Amino acid sequence: MPDLDQQLEFGIFPTPDARRIPDLLSLVSLAEVEGIDLVSVQDHPYQDAFLDTWTLLSVLGARTTTIRLAPNVASLPLRPPVLLAKAAASLDLLTDGRVELGLGAGAFWDAIVAAGGPRRTPGEAVGALAEAVELIKAFWAGGTLRFEGEHYRATGLHAGPVPAHDIPIWLGAYKPRMLRLTGRLADGWVPSMGYADPPALPGLAAVVDEAALEAGRPPAAVRRIYNVFGSFGTGSGFLRGRPQDWAEQLAELTLDVGMSCYVLGTDDPDTVRRYAAEVAPATRELVEAERARRAAGDDRGAAATPPDPAERDPGGPVVTGGGAGAPRGAGGGHTVTATPDDGTRLSPSMPWDEPARPSVAAGEPGGHPEQAQHLVDIHDGLRSELAQVRDVLEQVRRGHVTVGSARSVVNTMTMRQNNWTLGAYCESYCRIVTGHHTLEDRSVFPHLRRSEPGLGPVLDRLEEEHVVIHDVLEQFDRALVRLVSEDGTGRAGQEVLEEVQRSVDLLTDTLLSHLAYEERELIGPLSRNGLS
């Protein structure tokens, strides 16, 4: 089955090591700040070095606000379905609907028996799993249960609570009976590298798809979650090279096999950062571009050369040239529009003279409107994330007001945790802005200088503004370091928060002004010359 058009998501799969609890908690907090969608935890109750999965997921749920949580996968022989359903529903309510439930039929049977669980044959394990899925779903529906199965029963049980949302059930499956069960009943299929490497996935996925169709379900009803492992470097092989290599390999699995959620097994913070900041967006971009090409009925390869501008459909995308006040609406198709600067300023003064900015005259539209649109899309992301930074800061400030007069250890810890979260979130944003500007300085701007020498004064000014914004980011970073490292209570804490607010206000003024100026001047040149 080819691409199922499912939304791409990226998760992590850290080791629940009881000897490294601070590192584990820090890693999950970092993953949320970096934009990872999901954290999942393996479930081996008989493993003496591991934390209990549900206890750990509960702590993670209390320490996070957006990232989703899942056992990957719960050991069903040691987790009675009714108690498993109640635990998942409870955590789902406590986390505002952030729980997903992975189930496994069982493995390592000697260890399961040593822990008091049953020893099941392969057929019994599949039958018990099918009953468990049915019983768990019945429990989540509420009411009085009357369930009689070969392996499980619940008669006269008052089920509840009902979860906050319809909790998806994943099944870890590799053998034909389990794969057919997944296609028939599950919301997600979760294989792992090592048990099912990429060459095996198409054949396994085909069994899931066939079973789904026989059950009257579209194959896309079963989400494809893949537990992956890799390392960044220069080696060859699956997930063994550069972030771009990872992105190309994962995009291929999405487009050709239908996998759509990649859960990376790692305990390394730097790997999590690179996975979130480099691999995930690059994979999404590749997949979106190919999906758009296929939707348009283009039978060329994804890397096909764009048509000559003279041969373009006159009703297609339109981009007019750069320059102050240049019109953006000519033509009969989609127009790439520069985001206007509304002139709002939060700081008493700006670190540059805005009226003195050079400008170029509008030129003819070019044959690469998608390149100009790509710049606007990146800037829209930066603007959106900046708004989120401001919102998080406002939440922290309100929290300080709420508990600032208290002197309990719990409230003081809460304030410090909020400060740390704000600091980590903002540090991530500053790194993204710096990376974007570095890419422009090293690649995009030199390309445009060679292509349109008359653009030199504008590019000089944009590079100068990059330096100024870098200084503003460093000022912001110093204020955040103070916020995280100092006590944060009383008048001193309020003074530090005011310093952070002034820094983020100046960052808002300079960055939004800069982005608007850059779009106004470069949309035309980018449409004519592309990004590289």
Give the pLDDT confidence of 21-70 residue by residue, as tens digits. 999 998 998 898 888 999 999 999 999 999 999 999 999 999 888 899 99
What tens digit of pLDDT does each residue of 158-190 get?
999 999 999 999 999 999 999 999 999 999 999
182 plus 284 within the same structural domain: yes
State the total domains in the chain.
Answer: 2
CA distance linking residue 229 with residue 299, whole number of Å: 33
Banded model confidence at residue 408, pLDDT cuts 50, 70, 90: very low
58 plus 191 within the same structural domain: yes
359 plus 283 within the same structural domain: no
- 192's tokens: 């792992």
245 plus 387 within the same structural domain: no
What pLDDT score was predicted for residue 407?
39
Instruction: Please enumerate in sequence order all residues whose Cβ is within 8 A of that of 55, keeping only pairs 6 or more positions apart, or say none.
Output: none
> DSSP alpha helices (H): ranges in 117-238?
122-141, 176-185, 201-214
267 plus 414 within the same structural domain: no
CA distance linking residue 5 with residue 200, whole number of Å: 21
CB 513 within 8 A of CB 344: no
Backbone angles phi, psi at 354, to 5 degrees: -65, -45
In a domain, 523, yes or no: yes
CA distance linking residue 35 with residue 337, whole number of Å: 28
Q: What angle do CA 331, 334, 335 make, to 5 degrees?
A: 75
- 267's tokens: 């305990």
In a domain, 330, yes or no: no
Q: Can you tell me the mean pLDDT for 13-19?
A: 97
In a domain, 363, yes or no: yes
Question: With the CA atoms of 434, 436, 441 and 447 taken in that order, what torsion angle do they form, in degrees rounded to the nearest 10?
Answer: 170
237 plus 371 within the same structural domain: no
Residue 65 DSSP label:
S
282 plus 377 within the same structural domain: no
Domain's final residue, options 276, 295, 314: 295
248 plus 376 within the same structural domain: no
Domain's final residue, options 277, 295, 313: 295
Which CA distances in Å does 214 have to 6, 168, 211, 243, 523?
Answer: 21, 21, 5, 39, 51
The amino acid at 287: V
3-state helix, strand, coil in the chain (%, to 5): 55, 10, 35
102: nearest Cα among 190, 36, 11: 190
The whole domain housing 400 covers 354-529
Domain's final residue, options 270, 295, 320: 295
189: nearest Cα among 203, 206, 170, 175: 170
77 plus 202 within the same structural domain: yes
In a domain, 362, yes or no: yes
CA distance linking residue 112 with residue 121, whole number of Å: 13
What pLDDT score was predicted for residue 416?
54
CA distance linking residue 147 with residue 339, whole number of Å: 59
In a domain, 505, yes or no: yes
What pLDDT score was predicted for residue 296?
79
Domain containing residue 114: CATH number: 3.20.20.30
What tens digit of pLDDT does each residue of 471-507 get?
999 998 888 878 767 655 556 667 888 898 999 999 9
- Full-prediction pTM beyond 0.85? no
375 plus 238 within the same structural domain: no
What pLDDT score was predicted for residue 421?
61
Domain containing residue 513: CATH number: 1.20.120
Instruction: Please enumerate in sequence order all residues whose Cβ is within 8 A of that of 464, keeping only pairs 6 or more positions apart, or say none.
Output: 352
**74-75 vs 261-264, strand pairing mode:** unpaired
What pLDDT score was predicted for residue 409?
38
What tens digit of pLDDT does each residue of 55-68 get?
999 999 998 888 99
80 plus 222 within the same structural domain: yes
In a domain, 391, yes or no: yes
- Mean pLDDT computed over every residue of the chain: 86
287 plus 385 within the same structural domain: no
In a domain, 271, yes or no: yes
In a domain, 151, yes or no: yes
- 176's tokens: 């034909």
**Peptide bond preceding 73: is omega within 30 degrees of 0, i.e. cis?**
yes
Banded model confidence at residue 400, pLDDT cuts 50, 70, 90: low
CB 483 within 8 A of CB 423: yes
Q: Can you tell me the mean pLDDT for 523-531?
A: 87
**If DSSP codes are grouped into helix, strand and coil, which group holds residue 438?**
helix
CA distance linking residue 10 with residue 262, whole number of Å: 5
